Structure 1
Amino acid sequence: MPQTEIAGAGLTFDDEGRRDGVPLVFIHGWTADRHRWDHQMAHFAPHRRVIRLDLRGHGESGGVPHAIGELAGDVRALLDQLAVDRFIPVGHSMGGMIAQALALAQPERIERMVLVDSISRMVYSRRRGLLMDLSRLAPFRLFVTANIHRAFAPGHPRAEIRRYARASAATPREVVMNGYRAMRAFDVLDRIGEIQAPVLLVHGYHDIQLPVPQMLRMAKGYPNAVVRIIGDAGHELPVENPAALSSAIDWFLTAGAPVR
């Protein structure tokens, strides 16, 4: 569990696996931590280098986030310290937004990219926007817990959902609300055509946080994108069906990459 100081925050990370080849860099989502990727770390580390971190203010990292670009800068600074030039970002939800910010800022460093349950522009229907605004008026822990419960597909074990809800509710209030505002402000939908690297979009069919139609709208903007939809998962695909996600990434890293 190494830790490094970046822009005034102590960031915790893991750097495992082989040192040859282009590493996978796993970036978790809002109110989560690097352990969302436990299955992928175990799956890929025997064959390639894998890096993950707790984002600023999350998990075992310090500091407070303010914008997606700032979080992308943290990831970039960590990779610079680790002497990583080219890499493959794998971002879940807010982590996918960070991955896109990385790709737009330094496209020459991106070998390819995987976006999991993520989008390029946060869009709410009028009804969903009203629900989100009302939920922000609820007690803080209820706001976080309600969002986590909505993130899982119907039928997912309740005990596991409660465990993730407790972990998310332990995230400091300022970190949670700043992260929420950062996601609402993030909008690169009109720029993703600049990203020429191959992109895999993996999405849970039952995702009601960032619904499939929003992801498909994004997919049309990418010059080299392929889509995988996992039928039995919601928004928390890395823990709802981790084997299916790892398999999709395996496919993309070998036979599944689009031709430029």
Structure 2
Amino acid sequence: MYTKNERENYFQNVVSKIKGIQDVEGIIQLGSGTIGYSDRYSDIDLMIATTEQVSLAKDFIKAELQRMGAFYIKEGKFSDEIFLLIPFFENGLEMNLSVLSTTHLNVKSPLWKLVFDRNGGVQSKMIEENENFLKQDQPYMKKFNITFEYAYHLRKLRIEVRRGNLIYAMKMLEVLRELTLTVQILNEQKKLHQFKAYHTLENDFVTQLMGSYPTLVGTTAIEQAAYTVTELFKSTVMKNAMFDYDEQLFEIAEI
């Protein structure tokens, strides 16, 4: 396992290597690393701004990562304009690098820091996108009726229990937990986008949610777990004024 110092050395090295690529216009650090990392297990997240030659720049970046010792690099695409590189190193370090043109830069979280800007264009674009992000009524939150979504999936769970399809019912139970977590994260004014630090949520909430995990997989256990998480969801959603709570919606789960 890598140390904090090793992670910092890798960070400085990868920034130095990528800066030397002609088509790279800027580098933005993302996530907990912008405020000192959550802990020793946190990885390195970077958004790399390029010219319109995004694919070419991505290939050069991949080559640099290989020279740095990455033993495996997962490639992906968020869209036709945004590439993803996830290199893994022998010491356990992982990096997540999104590669996109400066014109497609975006801000989805307040946790970003400009590390390199070749000509000033990246900074101005990020400032513009950050202002757009801050203007959103509820950053990270898609507009949807979360109470309806919950009641709808609760209905699905109960139908699958009656069918004896317990594996699918368990999947629906996990959806109920995710919706409940979404509300609690927003209640605590934490960033919803890519939130993973569930252990930092309020202790009482975490304890109650953990109580919704059945020790056995069976009809009675799943129904009891659904009841537990539903009571938690109701008490949690009623604390947030942005959500419309309607008890009548839960009648659809009884049909």
Give the structure-1-normalised TM-score.
0.28
Greater Cα radius of gyration, structure 1 or 2? 2
Normalising by structure 2, we get a TM-score of 0.29
